[in-house]
Structure 1
């Protein structure tokens, strides 16, 4: 298990740069606009280019050790074999950097353990907290991918990507050890507009964007963060 001090990173520096540029433009225009008009321009710039702070929905990783476990059905796994390993690795890295946890099992190690222990799917979920690592972990962040697709079935000409997952947390040693301390449904889509097909975006590009959006939304559940106002997912 990797031990580490909790620390946070504030994302989206480009958003702040865009906001600063917009505010500067508003100041330049200030000479030709009245006070009310200028205030309106600045408010619109803030709304478009600014960001807002979102609180964590679950703070139980602070000062605790954790492991991220992801699972999906066999057909999805066959079509996207890298999906669950990538999801575990990337969410683990986000939480290690931002959640304030005291330690974690690396995503690669969890992937290897699950691959070598296929019977884990039949276990009570609380057993994972005891089995992962040499001494177990305090929390298991479980991501069950219910749906992951780049297009509607039978339509390979237009992209309509969806990633839908259930995120839950099992707390080791809690009463009713298999009871979920936290549960949240996450659903993201891509593209953000209709009419895009393989000539505009590759299937890999759609899948990669869906994965990134899913990782963002899962990770953000566990720490305070800034979200751009113009975010589309």
Structure 2
């Protein structure tokens, strides 16, 4: 056990001992409530094995292609690059035998092909010479509530479709999903409480993770609304 983990364990053990001592002084019922609450919190932190929603990327050559509304890219010019890179890297790492096209190759192709998003889906596969295209169309991206720049309320929402080169109809998505991420998870976070970079980093990390999860086995919180990632990180 390294020093930082030992320190956290010591603090946690001390806190637990103090809580037990206080509960004992308050009576047996308090001890029962304390232990029950601890067990409930432990339940909220459980992760469950979850299969992919779409499992046919394994062994395929894959391109991750991201599109976004011009109003979004004007205000967030690095968004497409960050999502393309993040999702590509995760699929390449976590999908068995997946051969992903390098994100810079995709971005350069988009730059050279200004009308690419008007192409039939089948032509995307042909032009990129891939078996699958993971097409991410970001239709909402913001860091603040509409009309209120004094609060942080990040939202990233996209439709995600899979194009199969050899599919029954390669001009239609073989499967499609909707992915929405919100960060921070609590409301009313004032602008002075965090920087724009922190909010954007947290929002994109969550969105990229949820998008990549569609395509590989992973662990998800059993109770997403109760799960506290910061508590998990301290273990």
What is the TM-score of this pair, normalised by structure 2? 0.78
The C-alpha deviation readout for 1:140-185, integer Å capped at 9, x for no partner, is 0000001000112221111121110101100002122111111000
Return the alpha-carbon distance in structure 2 between the equivalents of residues 96 and 167 of structure 1: 17
Alpha-carbon distance between aligned partners in 2 of 1:139 and 1:206, rounded to the nearest angstrom = 32
Q: Secondary structure of 2:158's partner?
A: strand
What 5-or-longer segments of structure 2 have no aligned partner? 230-235
* Residues 14-42 of structure 1 deviation map (CA, whole Å, 9 limit, x = unaligned): 9xx99xx89xx79xx8xx99xxx699577
Q: Is the Cα contact below 8 Å between 1:149 and 1:207 reproduced in 2?
A: no
- Partner residue in 2 for 1:112: 108
Q: Which residue of 2 aligns with 1:88?
A: 84
RMSD of aligned Cα (Å): 2.8
| Rg larger in structure | 2
Partner of 1:57: 53
* Number of equivalenced pairs: 207
Residue of structure 2 equivalent to 1:205? 198
**SS across alignment from 1:199:** helix
1:225 to 214, 218, 235: 218
More helix by share: 2
Normalised to the residue count of structure 1, the TM-score between the two structures is 0.79
Cα distance in 2 for residues equivalent to 1:80 and 1:101: 33
- Runs of 5+ unmatched residues, structure 1: 1-13
Structure 2 vs 1, CA of residues 154 and 218 (structure 1 numbering), >3 Å: closer, same or farther? Answer: same
